[in-house]
Chains A and B, each alone.
Chain A
Amino acid sequence: SQQGEEDPQALSIQEGENATMNCSYKTSINNLQWYRQNSGRGLVHLILIRSNEREKHSGRLRVTLDTSKKSSSLLITASRAADTASYFCATDASGDKIIFGKGTRLHILP
């Protein structure tokens, strides 16, 4: 069963704008991760945030985590055409298993 659920399912923005994606999950977690997938390719790890962290930055990426609401957000600032991809959140639902959300398809318009 899927643990995380992202919204929106699809997002189109102009290049240079910021993109925000949200993820909600159902059970307690130790950490939450965000991954990017270009069409027809494998996934690339973006950032991991632990349950005792509230915010984390990596370059143009900013991730927040609210364990009380069981939600996380991924913000991509100053978007570029190369950011066009699907973005998934993933949680450690139980033990070593990592379960992925449904993903947000991000399209950056030139």
Chain B
Amino acid sequence: GAVVSQHPSRVICKSGTSVKIECRSLDFQATTMFWYRQFPKQSLMLMATSNEGSKATYEQGVEKDKFLINHASLTLSTLTVTSAHPEDSSFYICSAIGPDNTGELFFGEGSRLTVL
């Protein structure tokens, strides 16, 4: 099956710094990837839809200047949390629509961000 790799799995940073999270489709091309944020024991909140070669589409209430998304190739999307603050601490998960286009999503393992 399709594999999505997300890196890093855990990151700790100081307030005010920026953190980049990578999401790669390892054995297929993903023109569309999704970025979610998940709080403890809660559901996944869609942050943005990342489209290869074009600007990401952000959900209402998500600051595009705060959460920079770049989808420069068919196998890589990155999420950069800029000027991170403690309230940005969360579990961030990416996903991609699988190669057979059935609608099934393939998820990365998630990245736990802790901002001190």
Contact = CB atoms under 8 A, between A and B. Distances in A.
Interface in A36-62: 40-45, 48
A2 B93 CA distance: 17
B17 to A, nearest CB: 23
Contacts of A43: 44, 93, 95, 105, 107
A42 B109 contact: yes
A75 to B, nearest CB: 20
A42 B93 contact: yes
Interface string B4-37: 1010000000000000000000000000101010
Q: Interface of chain A, helix or strand or loop or mixed?
A: strand
Given A97-B46, A98-B34, A102-B43, A42 B97 contact: no
A92 B97 CA distance: 12
The contact size tier of chain A is: 20 to 34
Q: Interface of chain B, helix or strand or loop or mixed?
A: strand
The contact size tier of chain B is: 20 to 34
A33 interface: yes
Nearest to A47: B104
A25 interface: no
Nearest to A6: B43
Contacts of A101: 43
A99 B36 CA distance: 10
A99 B46 contact: yes
Interface string B52-79: 0000000000000000000000000000
A107 interface: no
A2 B43 contact: yes
A31 B104 CA distance: 10
Interface of A: 2, 30-31, 33, 35, 40-45, 48, 88, 90, 92, 96-103, 105
